[in-house]
Structure 1
Amino acid sequence: MDLNLKINQKGNVEIGGADTISLAEEYGTPLYVIDEKRIRDNYNRVNNAFTKYYKNFKIFYAEKANTNLAVMRILEEEGSSIDAVSPGEVYTALETGFTPDRILFTGNNITNEELKYVYEQEVILNIDSISALKRLAKITSPNGLKLSFRVNPNVGAGHHDHCITGGPMSKFGIMEEEAADVYNLAKDLGFNPIGMHSHIGSGILNPEPFKLATESMMNIAGDVAANANIDFEFLDFGGGLGIPYTPEENLLDIDNFAKEIVGIYKSKLNEFGIGKPAMYIEPGRYIVGDAAYLLLRVNSVKQSYRKFIGVDAGFNTLLRPAMYDSYHHIVVANKANATPTEKVDIAGNVCESGDLFARDRILPKIEEGDLIAILNAGAYAFSMSSQYNSRPRTAEVLVNNGESELVRERETYKDLFNNQIIPERLKK
């Protein structure tokens, strides 16, 4: 496992050239620290790997992983496009400089009002169901509107059951056996279907499921091209590229992965005579996951039936361990070179028994006031945070070449009341 862990001469963990101890002292804790260079490097590593084997290729960043405006601007500068799964994400992408032709919207169980809003933004529509297609035809004027469909290639994979988005148990996409009929229906309604999309899950480190899904979707595309007479402009294979969280996991060999996936793609294009449509993928976690740390201050060391290290945030700040039983590597940022000597639980400050960042983690001797750094906190971390237990959401800092900038202010107690209204009759 490549922890991407940097330790400076003081023995402190640093990120983006900035000392985490200094950052915690300047901005307070809990604190998300985002490494700008790491995001750019990750994006370009994927882009370079795939364009090496297929030039007509685009990355659509899975925005749901991290919607921080600074992160969005970084990726816009790098030339990324956007995978948006809600009208709010479409709005965010537009506000941060992405043009409509660089935004692919894939909704599920979307309302008519949301469909209308997204349509009016002139972004690329990727339809998830026959219901959405028929409703879109009623609330808009198709007139040759280009769109795409999400298909379920009956292949699923992911690090947790909740992250598997393909296969017979998944709520997403249209079935393989109905695909050609759905494309024909779209044409009959006046639309111009020009793309196909699939997504099998997230946190994938083994390329085999992705290869199976690629073959499956290409077979569906071949059938649709033949039986619905579709001239595809793009084929989108979704995201799901994982990063190693545990010491036992290895980095995904992205160059070899790209070589194998593009090899299948080209072979199937030739087999079905589809032409040379653009190839899209939608990485999110791979680009931002290892580009951020969560810094927490130890405020309590409690020897109970177990030894608990209490910190100043809970699952309202980082939900993944409680929701997915996810492992995040943890280091004592001010004792990065110290030898691990004791087994402890890292416990949050939310009033829930499940509010734990780690169980039985072997770490150096921890004292109150120490700084804990939780690694790989760039994806599905702040974006899933909440104000549960009436705790304000934390701040975010962007670091680059040792310099730091506040990119999200820490909420205050007053912010907990935003948009709430007490009826006059209940006021004293």
Structure 2
Amino acid sequence: MDLNIKTNEKNHLEIGGVDAVEIAKEFGTPTYVIDEDRIRDNYKRFYSAFSKYYPDFKVFYACKANTNIAVLKILEEEGSCIDAVSPGEVYISKKLGFTGNRILFTGNNIKDSELKEVSDAGVILNIDSVSALKRLAKLINPENVKISFRVNPMVGAGHHDHCITGGVMSKFGIMDSEAVEVYKLAKELGFNPVGMHSHIGSGILDPEPFKLAIESTMDIAGKVHKEAGIEFEFLDFGGGIGIPYTPDEKLLDLDKFAEENMKLFKAKLKEYDMAEPTLYLEPGRYLVGDAAVLLTEVNSIKQSYRKFIGIDAGFNTLLRPAMYDSYHHMVIANKMDEEDVEEVDVAGNVCESGDLFARDRPLPKVEEGDILAILNAGAYSFTMASNYNTRPLPKEVLISNKKAIVVRKEQSYDDIFQKQTMPEHLK
């Protein structure tokens, strides 16, 4: 089993060297618990693997995976850059010390005011459409901003259809067939395009789709270099590298993955007589996915037509199982030494039939009051949480040097209420 599971002498789950049951007792549930050391280790492993084969390499953390400011600051200290997809992510990143040249903004269906906002922030703009390019040219002095283009490499991969970002069904990027003309248009409008970006999907554990994406993107870049006269400062192959979610999935052999893909990358540079641009990659899930656990308490056991284990979290807390049919491994944090003895449905507390975390999940004998730990909850988990059913957002706790620190307070009902205003005629 390649899941990040550690057990202490009490046969309790351990997170960053701290007893998960004690964390639940001290901070309550549901609570996201983040392991700082795991994030740092993941970053170092990722950076080392690729820089070994191509030294001019930068990591742009896809921060939509987890935007907790402690997580961002940890990665800032490690030397990471930021892949941002909203003005809000740009704003938070700059507040935490990321300079404009360390932030790549990739907008999608972005409006004029947001284009102006992010360009004024001094970040690198990754343009997704001809429309955005033309509108940007009217909003700013093209000479004052660095731009690149997101191209669709016509390769798509991912753990769910909603996570595939390349191919004929994708809303992202400019068509490969129009790339040369778009780069020429950018130059005519006064821009100096310095990069190219592609992204094929998320949750990828197979190196083959990534290699196909590199090959396709490099063929597009080579044609743009030759026919539009673009000297690329960087080439960006997005992110999408996955982590094991199920017990039978294996960790990606990252060194082999890096070696094979960098060999192809360098061969394509030589084929198209391009210089050696900086290589960007945008891991999100790989850096933070296995670095957090969602702790919940079993509050109800119902034997109906099926056996339901009811917990104090719902898809407002963790949306992935409902939205993507995602598997998250679960353990009983206070019974790590017990064998699985029954198959149960794990149900949330939201008033929706789709609020299920698992069907027919093998677990030890579950009792009310047990602490259920939902693993691999560091990516696309809290960031997708909501106030549905008027439930407050949960607490986040960081484990650092074997100490638990609150890094986000849970919302109160008043936090939800006070942002609304009553019209005068209803007072």
The TM-score with structure 1 as length reference comes to: 0.99
After alignment, is 326-335 or 140-149 more displaced?
A: 140-149
**Structure 2 counterpart of 1:131:** 131
Give the aligned residue type for 1:80: S
Contact 1:106 1:128 in 2 (8 A): yes
* Deviation at residue 144 of structure 1 after TM alignment: 6.2
* Deviation at residue 146 of structure 1 after TM alignment: 2.3
Whole-angstrom distance in 2 between the partners of 1:207 and 1:248: 18
**Structure 1 counterpart of 2:40:** 40
* Deviation at residue 45 of structure 1 after TM alignment: 0.5
Give the aligned residue type for 1:419: K
Give the secondary structure class of the aligned counterpart of 1:334: coil
Whole-angstrom distance in 2 between the partners of 1:340 and 1:173: 46
Give the aligned residue type for 1:370: D
Contact 2:125 2:145 in 1 (8 A): no
1:262-313 per-residue CA deviation (whole Å, 9 max, x = no partner) reads 1111000011111100000000000000000000000001100000000001
Give the secondary structure class of the aligned counterpart of 1:296: strand
Whole-angstrom distance in 2 between the partners of 1:11 and 1:254: 31
Are 1:238 and 2:244 an aligned pair? no
Give the aligned residue type for 1:331: V
**Structure 2 counterpart of 1:30:** 30
Whole-angstrom distance in 1 between the partners of 2:298 and 2:186: 57
- Structure 2 residue runs of 5 or longer lacking an equivalent are none
Contact 2:119 2:145 in 1 (8 A): no
1:222-272 per-residue CA deviation (whole Å, 9 max, x = no partner) reads 000000000000000000000010122111111110001111110000111
1:35-55 per-residue CA deviation (whole Å, 9 max, x = no partner) reads 000000001101000010010
Give the secondary structure class of the aligned counterpart of 2:235: strand
Give the aligned residue type for 1:141: N
RMSD (CA atoms): 0.7
Whole-angstrom distance in 1 between the partners of 2:4 and 2:214: 30
**Structure 1 counterpart of 2:354:** 354
Give the secondary structure class of the aligned counterpart of 2:151: strand
Give the aligned residue type for 2:240: G
* Deviation at residue 400 of structure 1 after TM alignment: 2.1
Whole-angstrom distance in 2 between the partners of 1:247 and 1:211: 26
Whole-angstrom distance in 2 between the partners of 1:401 and 1:344: 36
Contact 1:144 1:190 in 2 (8 A): no
* Equivalent runs, 1:270-349 vs 2, <5 Å: 270-349=270-349
Whole-angstrom distance in 2 between the partners of 1:72 and 1:143: 30
Are 1:2 and 2:2 an aligned pair? yes
Are 1:211 and 2:233 an aligned pair? no
1:59-94 per-residue CA deviation (whole Å, 9 max, x = no partner) reads 000000000000000000000000000101100110
Are 1:263 and 2:263 an aligned pair? yes
Whole-angstrom distance in 1 between the partners of 2:84 and 2:143: 24
Contact 1:293 1:378 in 2 (8 A): yes
Contact 1:81 1:102 in 2 (8 A): yes
After alignment, is 74-83 or 239-248 more displaced?
A: 239-248
**Structure 2 counterpart of 1:169:** 169
Contact 1:17 1:400 in 2 (8 A): no
* Equivalent runs, 1:95-174 vs 2, <5 Å: 95-143=95-143, 145-174=145-174
Give the secondary structure class of the aligned counterpart of 1:45: helix
* Deviation at residue 418 of structure 1 after TM alignment: 3.3
1:358-412 per-residue CA deviation (whole Å, 9 max, x = no partner) reads 1100100000000000000000000000000000010000002321100000111
Give the aligned residue type for 1:106: T
Give the aligned residue type for 1:109: N
Give the aligned residue type for 1:356: L
1:147-195 per-residue CA deviation (whole Å, 9 max, x = no partner) reads 1000000000000000000001000000111001000000000000010
**Structure 1 counterpart of 2:20:** 20
- Structure 1 351/144 Cα, relative in aligned 2: closer, same or farther at 3 Å? closer
Give the secondary structure class of the aligned counterpart of 1:152: coil
Whole-angstrom distance in 1 between the partners of 2:380 and 2:50: 25
Whole-angstrom distance in 2 between the partners of 1:144 and 1:413: 45
Contact 1:157 1:200 in 2 (8 A): yes
Whole-angstrom distance in 2 between the partners of 1:99 and 1:227: 33
Whole-angstrom distance in 2 between the partners of 1:126 and 1:56: 20
Give the secondary structure class of the aligned counterpart of 1:119: helix
Whole-angstrom distance in 2 between the partners of 1:86 and 1:413: 27
Whole-angstrom distance in 1 between the partners of 2:408 and 2:200: 32
Whole-angstrom distance in 1 between the partners of 2:24 and 2:342: 25
Whole-angstrom distance in 1 between the partners of 2:426 and 2:238: 50
**Structure 1 counterpart of 2:370:** 370
1:299-334 per-residue CA deviation (whole Å, 9 max, x = no partner) reads 001100000000001000000000000000000000
Are 1:426 and 2:426 an aligned pair? yes
Whole-angstrom distance in 1 between the partners of 2:210 and 2:150: 16
Runs of 4+ in 1 over 6 A off after TM superposition: none
Give the aligned residue type for 2:130: I
